[in-house]
């Protein structure tokens, strides 16, 4: 199983980029502990030293869902700004999102189907008598091109392959642009409520959740008591 995630500071200040850098390290360490292979696909450094604006990571493992579910969403860090000593803000937020995996970026020759066709247009007696034109179709994507420029079927096959590769490349660029747009939207969708993880302090320790769960249980008990009343 493979999945791609993006860790991003969104449009947050340098402090959020610092949080991304810390989360990135913690994320990779925890992935390793869970026998998950990680590959850095993209990493954009921030303005300040030791900061990261965004990072895109490929994850590979037999089971990824439990690990992903424990990270996907908003991450909160509680602490003093590393760059503005007297800044009053103590809560900083970043986001972790899943990105749809791209289609293949290269064409395999076994996926190309060639079909001989009769040429059309100018060409004298050669036209419509010899199947020299060639249609090349890439089955996985349905991209298709035709070459009938040359007299030789072999030459048209070669030209059709070149055209198919060029068209495939153009379609891939369009897809990447769409994905980058989606990533940018992710950066704008960071929500500050209900963080999936909370870290605190300059040592970036994970905040314990037991107290929160205890408070929630006590709240439910009180509600149950009043319901009985």
- What does the pLDDT read at residue 163? 93
Whole-number pLDDT of residue 42: 86
Q: Which of 165, 162, 168, 156 is nearest to 117 (CA)?
A: 156
pTM reported for the whole predicted model: 0.62
Q: Give the pLDDT of residue 124.
A: 47
Confidence (pLDDT) at 210: 41
Cα dihedral 42, 43, 44, 48 in deg (nearest 10): 180
Residue of 123, 116, 121 lying closest to 156 (CA atoms): 116
Which pLDDT belongs to residue 62? 92
What are the structure tokens assigned to 201, written together?
A: 């302090």
Q: What is the pLDDT of residue 174?
A: 76
Predicted confidence at residue 54, as pLDDT, reads 92
Phi/psi zone of residue 73: left (φ > 0), alpha (ψ -120 to 50 degrees), beta? Answer: left
| Three-class SS of 182-221 | HHHHHHHCCCCCCCCEEEECCCCEECCCHHHHHHHHHHHH
d(CA 30, CA 78): 20
What is the model's pLDDT at position 102?
Answer: 61
Q: How much is the pLDDT for 31?
A: 97
Query: In tens digits, what is the pLDDT along the chain, a chain of 229 residues?
Result: 889 899 999 888 999 999 999 999 999 999 999 999 999 988 999 999 999 999 999 999 999 999 999 999 999 999 999 899 888 999 999 999 998 766 555 678 889 999 998 766 554 444 445 578 999 999 888 899 999 888 888 899 999 999 999 998 888 777 766 776 777 777 777 887 789 999 999 888 887 654 444 454 555 455 444 444 4
């Amino acid at each position: 199983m493979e999945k791609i995630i993006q860790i991003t500071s969104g449009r947050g200040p340098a402090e959020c980029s610092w949080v991304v850098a810390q989360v990135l390290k913690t994320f990779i360490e925890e992935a390793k502990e869970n026998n998950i292979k990680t590959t850095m696909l993209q990493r954009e450094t921030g303005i300040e030293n030791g900061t990261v604006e965004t990072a895109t990571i490929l994850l590979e493992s037999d089971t990824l869902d439990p690990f992903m579910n424990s990270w996907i969403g908003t991450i909160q860090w509680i602490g003093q700004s590393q760059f503005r000593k007297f800044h009053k803000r103590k809560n900083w937020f970043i986001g972790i999102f899943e990105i749809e995996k791209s289609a293949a970026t290269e064409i395999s020759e076994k996926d190309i189907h060639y079909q001989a066709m009769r040429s059309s247009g100018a060409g004298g007696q050669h036209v419509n008598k010899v199947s020299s034109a060639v249609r090349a179709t890439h089955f996985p994507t349905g991209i298709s091109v035709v070459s009938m420029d040359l007299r030789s079927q072999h030459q048209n096959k070669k030209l059709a392959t070149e055209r198919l590769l060029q068209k495939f490349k153009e379609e891939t660029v369009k897809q990447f642009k769409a994905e980058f747009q989606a990533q940018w939207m992710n950066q704008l969708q960071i929500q500050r409520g209900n963080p999936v993880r909370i870290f605190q302090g300059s040592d970036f320790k994970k905040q314990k959740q037991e107290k929160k769960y205890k408070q929630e249980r006590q709240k439910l008990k009180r509600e149950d008591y009043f319901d009985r009343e």
